[in-house]
Each structure stands twice: as C-alpha cells, then as structure tokens.
Amino acid sequence: MSLNFCMHCGAPVADSKANFCMVCGKPLQSYQLNRFTRFNRKPSFFRRESKVPKNLDEITFPAKISLLMPIIAFFFMIFVTAIVMVIFIIPMIINADSFSIALIESSLESLLDSKEFLITGLFLEILFIIAPFIYLRKYFPKKTTKLRFQLLGLPLSGESKKTFFLEVGIGLIFGFGLVFLVLGTQILSEWFWGVLLGQEFVESGVNFMGDSSMGTIPASTLQLVLIWAAMFGAVGVGEEILFRGFTQRGLVQNWGKGAGILVTALTFTLFHILPWLIAPPETFIVFFLPYFAISLILGYMREWRKGNLLANIITHGLYNSLVITLAFLGF
C-alpha cells in the first residue's frame, strides 16, 4: 500500500486519518493527500528527490507553472540580452571622442541594426531551456541531466538509428511542407484583403515569408550559414523544449490534448507577434495566422510522436532556415 504525502511539505503521512502533519503541523484534508505517487506531490525548490522515478509519465506539471514558464524564460532571455547589449556597446562608447546620451542612443540604434548582434540573439534562444530545466531539478536527484532532457522530449541516448532517422525524415518533410503552407496562407491573405475588402495589401513590413521586419535577412553567405546553425542548434531546440516539451506537456496533462495544444499554440503565437499586437488588422492577421497554424501543427506533431521532439526541432529549424534563405535569395 502506497503512502500518502502532505501537500504542504511533502512529508509522508502513514495514518490516512491523521488531522495534522507531524512534520509541518499544518492541517490535512483528503484532497491535500496524494494517494498515488510521491512524484506528483507539491514540488519545492528546496527539496530534491532521492531516487530516480521509474516512470517519467508519473511526473506532472501544474497548469499554472506550465503557463508561467514561457514568461519566466522570456524575461530571463531579456535580462541576458541586455547584458549582451552592454558588452557590445561598451567598446563603441570607449572608442568615441566624447560621452553623451546621444552617443548611447546612436550606439543602441547601430547595435540593433547589426547583423552580428541579431545572429547572436538567435543563438541566445538556447537559454529558453534553462528555466524548465532548473524547475525539473525538484523531481530528480543530482546527475540526471539526460533524464531531464528525456522528460522534456529530447532523448540524448537509448534511441535506435532507425528511430532517429525516422524522426529526422518526418521533420524534413514537415519543414518543407510548412513553407508551402505559409506561402499559401500569405497568398490567401493578400487575396482576402485585396479582393474581398477592396483594400490594397501593403507589402512593406508585412511579407511573412521573408520576415524582413525581423531584420534577420543575412548580408553574406557566412551569415546565412550562421543563421542555419542557430535555427537548428538554438532556436528550434530552445523554443520546442520550452513550448512543446514543457508548457504543452503540462497543459495536456491538466486540460486534455485539445485544450493543451490550442492554448500552447496561442501562447507561442502571441510571444512571436508581440510587436504586431498594436498593428493594423491586416498586418496582425497576416502574421497571426501563419504562426498559429505552424504552432498547431507542431503541437499535434508532438502528441503524434509521443512526446519525442526531435521531429519538431528539425521541422522548426528547417522552416525558419528556408524562410530566411528565400529572403536572402530575393524571393
């Protein structure tokens, strides 16, 4: 017979009829006792499990934490980016003849237009995995890095070559497919606004395929290669682990597959189109629809592949890389 656990402090409760916890002294109610497994008990950053869980599916994330995690990761990313910006700007200020507020403003403007800084920002997206990775420490003892990655959907060992190449193949097919899907979405959007509403569709800053408003169109072949490396090694890995590996996993566990995928897709989309939330309706829709469609597909792919994110990462990285490459080639 399994033990109950206090949902205040996690201490084992041998007597199911006890009214108070013998450790923390807080009152015990039936709904506060975990009658299934100690891995579902209320987590704490100040306690780690002493044993490795036998079944990773036993570990569940609260819905609130699942929704908050992207916000936490986003602000952490902003903090690190600010530090990187300071590192980039300091040499500009030192080499200047005199110091002024105007100098700082011009240095910031120059930095934001710098392709080197933008590419650095893409590589920094790997930091998105840090917040969920730290959170998972409460469910595992020390030296369980591979298991934490496995729980988040990225198995680092134990997969056969057949499975590996199958996931890569699926990712490549979906990556190319998403490009055609988004291209079709853009054509339909232009037709909708231009024909049905009789409005001229403004191309400047609204071309989703080129993503020109993001300023990530490379100026050289070397920059294009670096962007491909960042998309596969940082952007795809970081965003998929954060949104699909952590947030979607937790929401699906708490709310079911349909609601979990839908809310994750909305969250993913809103994080990517923040600059266009106050844009004109046509601009907002042109950006919202492709991102939302892509996120839904990636969400269902995660469930289809039973939590394995390798195909998602390949799809995500390839799609982003192809979009930038098309813009680089002038399409």
At 46-73, the pLDDT tens digits run 455 556 666 777 788 889 999 999 999 9
Pair (195, 312) in one structural domain: yes
Q: Is 53 a domain residue?
A: no
Pair (26, 111) in one structural domain: no
Query: pLDDT tens track of the chain, all 331 residues?
Result: 344 666 556 666 666 667 667 666 666 654 333 333 344 444 454 455 556 666 777 788 889 999 999 999 999 999 999 998 888 888 877 777 777 777 777 878 887 778 888 899 999 999 999 999 888 887 777 777 888 899 999 988 777 889 999 999 999 999 999 998 888 777 776 676 666 655 555 443 444 444 444 457 888 999 999 999 999 999 999 999 999 999 999 999 999 999 999 999 999 999 988 877 776 776 777 778 888 989 999 999 999 999 999 999 999 999 999 999 988 888 7
User: pTM for the whole thing?
Assistant: 0.78
Q: Is 50 a domain residue?
A: no
Contact, 4 vs 35, CB < 8 A? yes
Pair (133, 165) in one structural domain: yes
Pair (37, 72) in one structural domain: no
116-122 LR contacts (CB < 8 Å, sep 24+): 117/84, 117/85, 117/88, 118/215, 118/216, 119/216, 119/223, 119/226, 119/227, 119/230, 120/84, 121/81, 121/84, 122/216, 122/227, 122/230, 122/231, 122/234, 122/235
Q: Is 47 a domain residue?
A: no
The pLDDT of residue 327 is 87
What residue numbers bound the domain in which 118 lies? 63-328
State how far the Cα of 197 lies from the Cα of 195, in Å rounded to an integer. 6
State how far the Cα of 26 lies from the Cα of 42, in Å rounded to an integer. 14
Pair (184, 291) in one structural domain: yes
Pair (109, 162) in one structural domain: yes
Q: Which of 208, 190, 240 is nearest to 322 (CA)?
A: 208
Pair (117, 2) in one structural domain: no
Q: Is 110 a domain residue?
A: yes
Q: Is 51 a domain residue?
A: no
CA atoms within a 13 Å half-sphere pointing along the CA-CB vector of 324: 26
Q: Is 49 a domain residue?
A: no
Pair (210, 284) in one structural domain: yes
Instruction: Count the neighbouring beta carbons within 10 Å of the beta carbon of residue 232.
Output: 17
Pair (89, 149) in one structural domain: yes
Q: Is 296 a domain residue?
A: yes
- The dihedral built from the CA positions of residue 71, 77, 78 and 80, taken in this order, carries a sign that is positive
Pair (159, 198) in one structural domain: yes
Number of structural domains (the chain) is 2
Pair (280, 193) in one structural domain: yes
Q: Is 22 a domain residue?
A: yes
The pLDDT of residue 165 is 94
User: Cα angle vertex 39, ends 144, 256, to 5°?
Assistant: 105
Pair (187, 69) in one structural domain: yes
The pLDDT of residue 14 is 67
